[in-house]
Chain A
Amino acid sequence: MVTSTATQLEPTGTPRDEVESVVVRFAGDSGDGMQLTGSQFTLATALAGNDLATFPDFPAEIRAPIGTTFGVSAFQINFGARKIATAGDAPDVLVAMNPAALKVNLGDVKKGGTVIIDTGTFTARNLKKAGFEADPLEDDSLDGFQVMKVDISKLTTEAVKEHGVSNKDGLRSKNMWTLGLIYWLYDRDREPTVNWLRVKFGKMPNIAEANVAALNAGHIFGETAELPGGLRGLSVRAAEISPGLYRAVTGAEALAWGLAAGARLADLRMVLASYPITPASSLLHILAGLKQFDIVTFQAEDEIAAVGAAIGASFAGSLGITSSSGPGVALKGEAIGLAISTELPLIIVNSQRAGPSTGLPTKTEQSDLFQSVYGRNADAPLVVLASSSPSNCFEIGIEAVRLATKYMTPVILLSDGYMSNASEPWLIPDFDSIEPFPVNFAKTEDAGEEGFMPFSRDEATLARPWAKPGTPGLEHRIGGIEKEDGSGNISYDADNHQKMTDLRAGKINGIANDIPLQGVELGNESGQLAVVGWGSTYGPISRAVGNMREDGYDVSHVHLHHIWPMPLNTGDLLAGFDQVLVPEMNNGQLVKVLRAEYLTPAQAMNKVNGQPFKIAEIEAAIKGCLDGQSGEAK
């Protein structure tokens, strides 16, 4: 374990201007190591005591042709001396490692923002590949920005010369040179990155030292060079955040650990069966490394086999989990119906991505809510949960296990590509303080005179007993054909089917009694406008509502984690607001569910361009709802 203490570093050299928060975007070719650069900067920034949020944005192709716009990989970080809710709307600083990165990202940069460019890559060939007709360094393309043109390629090559690495390997340290410069710009400590490099390249010490040399050279360049446009070092104070032990966590990590924690709390072995799919595979990768936690991972031959194996594992008395993205969940639909009909615990994780069909595999969207709540043949109710931030995935993972095992039901857990990959600092919880919920399997003595009744029910939860194969006296058969209430024997009786359909629905609806009432994240419990969100829109909604409240608007933020069933008071809560606005990264799904369930005149706000909402977009929508209302001036 590497433990550090966040400290406010003493400014070095020239005095630094203080800024409250900054958005930096690193952009380069997919082979330029931008994601690594970003994650190192994230760690250094966390250690400096700032709050932060990040957004990696990488292409679907593993190695797109070098220098092309579709091969551009970017990593954005928003950090500050205040609470940071999102990865930031527009970058204050763009680092462009090649012409394609400049082409793709310049349009997003804040007016007057800083653009740092590796001029060494601005060759005629690269300009052509990026689709520039004229060299943007020579014409007026960069007017209005603070531009820092540096031949990073050349300076890196010089810096690593003495370490005896090939020219090609040397150039690969460009990202570290750049990171060194940005470390200087924001007064970050290089030491953790130096240590990390020496561990990562432990078997190739010359490569490690070349990278360290590049990192230091970039930093020295910042300290000593006269930077264009009067660019000066900046300082960002530590944020006021709750004391305790922190770490950076991605949604995929928090979810994997939450599910592992849930299995431990339920006292169950976990069997995760999954088929590789972007952006869901990281959950499989992480859990495959946690076998010592009594976790078995299985890479199945396809999506259907994955869910089938998970259900088989649950039938045998383990916690069956399957994980995929929307197209994969579509394939699992029939099997999920079987788990609903046989009333077995099952968790289906959906890391949503833009669709339909293959859609945009690496771009985020939250358009599988209908699929989750309604997307199966027949009346097939189950539980749907949605996590709202990378670290929230931990709690939602545990909640999914609790509900699946207590109510003998499949649970769909919605994450998304953005949340899986994004990271944020996390105040690490104490696992020992979480109340366990061990499963009580049926016992031999539970079989009465008529034998074991696999479809008898607990009066309070309506859950059926879970009998582990291997237990004498509880031998029973289950399947997808309608079951007789109680005995579970095949039944074609019409009235029994009505009863079983009602029982299945009633069991799921009853879960509303076992989840927290819906609260308000920010603002009053009634008023002029509620902005209702779910999933990863939490960050931008929270900040937008906070900003608008500071400006005197009567607006509240309501965020749903229990999508189905919804908390008991949801309808009453929404009825207390004059208007309800539902921003979603889809074409309007939760908004329709709310309208259908509660007859609330909720308004939709939709965006499906593969990018999270910007705070400004939601602020504008809030203004649109409230300006001019109640005599308030525009």
Chain B
Amino acid sequence: MNAPAVPLKAKDFASDQEVRWCPGCGDYAILKGVQKTLADIGTAPENVVFISGIGCSSRFPYYMSTYGFHTIHGRAPAFATGVKLANPELDVWLVTGDGDGLSIGGNHLLHALRRNVNMQIMLFNNEIYGLTKGQYSPTSKQGTRSPSTPMGSLDRPLSPVLFALGANASFVARAVDTQQKHMPGVLKRAHTHQGASFVEIYTNCIVYNDGVFSSFAEKGTAAEGELLLEHGDPMIFGKERDKGIRMKPGALELEVVQLGVDGITEDDLLRHDETSRVLAGLLGAMQNPDFPVAVGVLYCEAAEAYETAVYQQVDAARAANGKADINALLRSGSTWTVGD
């Protein structure tokens, strides 16, 4: 893939279109983080394709100066798969939300992940339907009051990262809209990974679900409410860096421990191993207030990208069959001649 002749800046990845999200929407921050990521990667805009479904988050491609396709509700992973099948060289970024990707489009997300199509899938999770004016979503907490659930929602929510792990995703990560220092690092890791890289981004909907992540996603709460994962590092969190995560003795469960209490030291803590799917599942399930919310790369496994394998078969068929001649194809098998 070509790098741009002159290094580009984040703003070079912004289109000339006026951004039309609500003032204060978390999507602005993500847009900025993505533009910075692309500039940092040093990719050429003509090789980048943003593909989205329907919803607030799915307006994203219009605001990028790259190629973009705003498709139909829930189906973006299918369109993106088609783009990669047509041209594996393109750098495909998929933008979806909790409604688009996990409700109407749950099936397509599942299959794009298990096939391991090489693209970055950013799921903006705001736990609400924004564009249709505030109905509850598949990630809304039980009891969420919304126009369609005035007495509280009844459905049990799902966890996007546990869904991705269950779909056999080869890369699963989390980021937070406002954490601009952290997000580009996660996105760069997602970009480097060969295969479907799933990144759940907690996104605050200021109009319909303001503050739903306030227990861990804000400046004052992040230190206590969040666990930043780094491969190989002990799992420490807290304002004073005095708390940690360890395996609960005698159980397949995690527990929060206080460093220095009952003789617990850093050596007793779990070290993050992003190659462990089991650990990723345990970390992905951690919720406030009993646990910190894990962000960063939960899971990363080397696996062959789907479209790479597809073209290996195309190449093998070419090698086995020689020149692909239409006239020979039409004359293959049994033929007969009718004389004059």
Q: Which residues of A contact B69 (CB under 8 A)?
A: 312, 315, 342, 477-479
The residue in chain A whose Cβ has the minimal distance to the Cβ of B316 is: A291
Q: Which residues of B contact A298 (CB under 8 A)?
A: 81-82, 85, 310
Size of A's binding interface in residues, CB under 8 A: 77
| Other-chain contact of B79, A244, A261, A311 (Cβ < 8 Å) | A311
Compute how far the CA of A293 lies from the CA of B322 in the bound complex, rounded to whole angstroms.
10
Question: Do A296 and B338 touch (CB < 8 A)?
Answer: no
Question: Do B330 and A428 touch (CB < 8 A)?
Answer: yes
Interface check A334, CB cutoff 8 A: yes
Question: Do A1 and B87 touch (CB < 8 A)?
Answer: no
CB-defined interface of A306-319 with B at 8 Å, one 1/0 digit per residue?
11111111111110
| Other-chain contact of B71, A6, A308, A468, A490 (Cβ < 8 Å) | A308
State whether A431 and B333 are in contact (beta carbons under 8 Å apart), knowing that A242-B338, A477-B69, A479-B62 are contacts in the complex: no
Compute how far the CA of A305 lies from the CA of B110 in the bound complex, rounded to whole angstroms.
12
Question: Do A248 and B334 touch (CB < 8 A)?
Answer: yes
Q: Which residues of B contact A335 (CB under 8 A)?
A: 71-72, 75
Interface positions, chain B 314-340, Cβ under 8 Å from A, are 314, 316-318, 320-322, 324, 326-327, 329-340
CB-defined interface of A569-592 with B at 8 Å, one 1/0 digit per residue?
000000000000000000000000
Q: Which residues of B contact A597 (CB under 8 A)?
A: none
| Other-chain contact of A46, B54, B314, B336 (Cβ < 8 Å) | B336
Interface check B21, CB cutoff 8 A: no
Compute how far the CA of A323 lies from the CA of B126 in the bound complex, rounded to whole angstroms.
37
Compute how far the CA of A432 lies from the CA of B326 in the bound complex, rounded to whole angstroms.
9
Interface check A476, CB cutoff 8 A: yes
State whether A290 and B51 are in contact (beta carbons under 8 Å apart), knowing that A3-B335, A296-B314, A477-B15 are contacts in the complex: no
Interface stretch of the complex, out of B22-30, B39-47, B156-164, B224-232: B39-47
Question: Do A317 and B87 touch (CB < 8 A)?
Answer: yes
- Pick from B54, B70, B79, B340 the residue with the most CB of A within 10 Å: B79
State whether A477 and B68 are in contact (beta carbons under 8 Å apart), knowing that A291-B314, A490-B17 are contacts in the complex: yes
Compute how far the CA of A602 lies from the CA of B340 in the bound complex, rounded to whole angstroms.
43
Question: Do A470 and B75 touch (CB < 8 A)?
Answer: no
The residue in chain A whose Cβ has the minimal distance to the Cβ of B80 is: A312
State whether A301 and B107 are in contact (beta carbons under 8 Å apart), knowing that A291-B318, A312-B69, A316-B49 are contacts in the complex: yes
Q: How far is the CB of A247 from chain B (nearest CB, A)?
A: 5
Compute how far the CA of A473 lies from the CA of B15 in the bound complex, rounded to whole angstroms.
13
Compute how far the CA of A308 lies from the CA of B85 in the bound complex, rounded to whole angstroms.
12
Q: How far is the CB of A284 from chain B (nearest CB, A)?
A: 14
Question: Do A302 and B107 touch (CB < 8 A)?
Answer: yes
Question: Do A479 and B61 touch (CB < 8 A)?
Answer: yes
Interface positions, chain A 462-501, Cβ under 8 Å from B, are 468-481, 489-490
Question: Do B61 and A316 touch (CB < 8 A)?
Answer: no
The residue in chain B whose Cβ has the minimal distance to the Cβ of A242 is: B338
Q: Which residues of B contact A4 (CB under 8 A)?
A: 334-337
Interface check A269, CB cutoff 8 A: yes
Question: Do A304 and B86 touch (CB < 8 A)?
Answer: no
Question: Do A480 and B70 touch (CB < 8 A)?
Answer: yes
Interface check B313, CB cutoff 8 A: yes
Compute how far the CA of A1 lies from the CA of B330 in the bound complex, rounded to whole angstroms.
11
Q: Which residues of B contact A224 (CB under 8 A)?
A: none
Question: Do B70 and A318 touch (CB < 8 A)?
Answer: no
Interface check B66, CB cutoff 8 A: yes
Interface positions, chain A 496-537, Cβ under 8 Å from B, are none
Question: Do A477 and B317 touch (CB < 8 A)?
Answer: no
Q: How far is the CB of B336 from chain A (nearest CB, A)?
A: 5
Q: How far is the CB of A3 from chain B (nearest CB, A)?
A: 5
State whether A472 and B70 are in contact (beta carbons under 8 Å apart), knowing that A308-B75, A312-B51 are contacts in the complex: no
Question: Do B336 and A312 touch (CB < 8 A)?
Answer: no
Q: Which residues of A contact B223 (CB under 8 A)?
A: none
Interface positions, chain A 19-45, Cβ under 8 Å from B, are 43
Interface check A378, CB cutoff 8 A: no
Q: Which residues of B contact A292 (CB under 8 A)?
A: 314, 317-318, 320-322, 324
Q: How far is the CB of A275 from chain B (nearest CB, A)?
A: 11
Q: Can you pick out 17 interface pairs between chain A and chain B where the beta carbons lie within 8 Å of each other?
A: A5-B337, A247-B333, A290-B324, A293-B324, A294-B314, A296-B310, A300-B78, A305-B108, A306-B78, A312-B86, A335-B72, A428-B330, A431-B330, A469-B83, A469-B90, A477-B70, A479-B71
Residues of A within 8 A of B (CB): 1-6, 43, 46-47, 49, 192, 241-248, 257, 260-261, 264, 269, 271, 273, 290-294, 296, 298, 300-302, 304-318, 320, 334-335, 338, 342, 428-432, 468-481, 489-490
Supplied contacts A5-B337, A6-B338, 17 more A-B pairs, CB within 8 Å:
A243-B337, A245-B336, A246-B335, A246-B338, A261-B326, A271-B85, A291-B314, A292-B314, A293-B326, A298-B85, A302-B107, A305-B75, A312-B71, A315-B82, A317-B86, A428-B335, A477-B61
Going nearest first, the 9 A-B pairs with the smallest beta carbon separation are A312-B82, A479-B70, A308-B78, A309-B82, A291-B317, A477-B68, A316-B86, A312-B79, A318-B86
